[in-house]
């Protein structure tokens, strides 16, 4: 009898424990915050490390979070739309279809913007709100979270740039908001809603841009302490605030009520983005219950500042010192609002940036600029002489030439002959390393396997060009003032990747991982399906 009672007791205990196992709720964070810093080179984490605050955002993530030190973009062109799409889809332009910020459409015979759509603007009478994610062919990790929770999770995307707010949030987002330079307001489109929520209207009514303009932009610390930068005034820096304003401090009062397009080119663009994010968290009650919500947050201003002044400028250094402080305060807000350890954050970048060629040449490093603004006209004249038309190249974008195949056919020209002539013509430009056909011909090029893989990953048959151009190292297509990005080189493709918060153990990883690995790693942490076009892998060291 005792043996029977003992067996029954053990059986009851087993069944109780088994029931406990199956009734435990799935553990997930209350809120996921994805942060993309537009145009952040990986080395910025350490270039200004000594000046980052102990309680600022970067050191907090580096010391208390997990850093993937060798994170690379696995495709080219390395531009904003592609980067935001890749991070959140775990996919590449060849699959998700976001082949550039814009591309030539052979059916419509025009350049297509990555997030354009025939939808009504909401929050403005202008066309700036006619945007949606329809051109992105795959799901994002935010879509998968929405599906996994039967659409009970809230997803909101926020960025000054429309593409930075729209593409990360995915197709099924509750909302995406972006900044309209014409009005200084945050707007959206009818793809998401018919009118702005009251909290957005109230935020716009507060006229944040005018307040920031009244402050102006001076360095956070005495300008003579910015030892990681060139001298404050350089001839190769753009004069974004007028020809009379060549160095700090910058007086922005003249833009009050007149020119809201200037704001994104200052650190105030980061500040207004953070304030809008806080307002969204409060008003939409993000992270307020057990259903995981997702906020995608892209800081666009570093890109505007970096393009204008270059990565060795006082302006860029000041921007990152201020952003560090900003992020530290934002994490403090999340601690108080959501709770320490209750939210998950990752921080990465959509691309890096090249140094200004004049700066490099001043320091005996080879560099240069291919005048992309004059190349089409010069090429057109040469084509007219050779083939009888100056319109055979329909578009030059993403370091690719798009041919007008209709015109070539109507003129009864040999397409292969046109391509060979163009390849030879472009290859003779100073600064061009090589040019070749895309598509199947691309795989046969005598290129390093990494470069070839990046170009193949960036090639979409209906959205990429006919001829690929590769420039020499430290060269880019643009102007003598400022800088840009878009190439395969490490300065454009080596990006930061930091993890912090919910279930993230402190650590550092030096093995190579890729931008495509971010989305599947989030999927593993949340126990949800990876996005539909995912080609990345889970970073095991992060999820342990």
Query: Would you please indicate which residues are annotated as catalytic (active-site) residues?
Result: 80
Q: How many helices (H) and strands (E) does the chain have?
A: 20, 21
Q: How far apart are CA 168 and CA 264, in angstroms?
A: 20
3-state secondary structure of 439: helix
Give the closest residue to 403 by CA, choosing from 129, 69, 106. 106
Beta bridge partners of 498: 67, 347
Helix, strand, coil tally for the chain in percent (to 5): 40, 15, 45
3-state secondary structure of 86: helix
List, edge to edge, every strand of the sheet that includes 71-72. Answer: 494-495, 71-72, 513-514
Beta bridge partners of 370: 477
Strands 155-159 and 293-299: parallel
Q: Which DSSP category does 428 fall into? A: T
Q: How far apart are CA 404 and CA 388, in angstroms?
A: 14
Q: How far apart are CA 138 and CA 134, in angstroms?
A: 10
Q: Write phi, then psi, for 443 (nearest 5 degrees).
A: -70, -15
Q: How far apart are CA 303 and CA 484, in angstroms?
A: 9
- Helix (H) / strand (E) element for 155: namely strand 155-159
């Amino acid at each position: 009898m005792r043996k029977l009672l003992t067996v029954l007791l053990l059986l009851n205990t087993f069944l109780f424990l088994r029931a406990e196992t199956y009734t435990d709720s799935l553990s997930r964070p209350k809120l996921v915050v994805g942060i993309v810093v537009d145009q952040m080179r990986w080395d910025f984490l350490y270039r200004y490390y000594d000046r980052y605050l102990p309680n600022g955002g970067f050191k907090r993530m580096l010391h208390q979070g997990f850093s993937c030190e060798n994170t690379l973009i696995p495709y080219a062109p390395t531009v904003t739309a592609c980067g935001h799409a890749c991070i959140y889809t775990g996919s590449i332009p060849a699959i998700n279809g976001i082949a550039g910020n814009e591309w030539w459409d052979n059916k419509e015979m025009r350049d297509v913007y990555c997030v354009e759509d025939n939808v009504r603007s909401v929050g403005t009478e202008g066309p700036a709100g006619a945007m949606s994610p329809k051109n992105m062919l795959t799901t994002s990790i935010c879509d998968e979270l929405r599906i996994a929770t039967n659409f009970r999770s809230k997803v909101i995307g926020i960025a000054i740039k429309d593409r930075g707010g729209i593409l990360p949030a995915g197709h099924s987002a509750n909302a995406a908001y972006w900044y309209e330079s014409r009005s200084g307001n945050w707007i959206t489109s009818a793809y998401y809603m018919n009118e702005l929520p009251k909290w957005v209207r109230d935020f716009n009514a507060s006229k944040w841009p005018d307040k920031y303009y009244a402050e102006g932009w001076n360095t956070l610390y005495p300008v003579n302490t910015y030892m990681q930068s060139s001298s404050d005034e350089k001839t190769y820096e753009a004069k974004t605030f007028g020809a009379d304003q060549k160095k700090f401090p910058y007086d922005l009062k003249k833009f009050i009520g007149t020119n809201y397009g200037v704001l994104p080119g200052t650190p105030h663009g980061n500040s207004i983005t953070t304030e809008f994010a806080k307002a969204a968290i409060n008003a939409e009650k993000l992270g307020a219950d057990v259903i995981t919500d997702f906020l995608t947050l892209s800081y666009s201003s570093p890109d505007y500042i970096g393009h204008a002044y270059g990565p060795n400028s006082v302006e860029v250094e000041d921007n990152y010192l201020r952003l560090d402080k900003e992020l530290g305060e934002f994490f403090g807000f999340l601690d108080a609002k959501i709770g320490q350890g209750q939210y998950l954050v990752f921080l990465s970048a959509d691309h890096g940036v090249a140094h200004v060629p004049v700066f490099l040449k001043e320091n005996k490093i080879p560099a240069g600029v291919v005048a992309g603004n004059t190349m089409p006209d010069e090429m057109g004249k040469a084509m007219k002489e050779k083939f009888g038309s100056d319109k055979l190249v329909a578009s030059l974008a993403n370091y690719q030439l798009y041919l007008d195949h209709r015109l070539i056919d109507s003129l009864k020209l040999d397409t292969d002959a046109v391509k060979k002539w163009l390849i030879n013509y472009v290859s003779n430009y100073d600064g061009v390393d090589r040019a070749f056909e895309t598509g199947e011909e691309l795989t046969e090029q005598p290129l390093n396997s990494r470069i070839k893989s990046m170009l193949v990953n960036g090639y979409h048959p209906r959205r990429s060009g006919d001829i690929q151009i590769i420039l020499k190292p430290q060269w880019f297509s643009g102007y003598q003032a400022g800088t840009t990005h878009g190439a395969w080189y490490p300065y454009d493709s080596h990006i930061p990747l930091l993890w912090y918060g919910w279930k993230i153990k402190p650590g550092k990883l030096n093995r190579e991982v890729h931008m495509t690995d971010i989305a599947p790693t989030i999927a593993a942490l949340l126990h949800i399906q990876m996005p539909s076009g995912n080609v990345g892998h889970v970073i095991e060291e992060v999820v342990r």
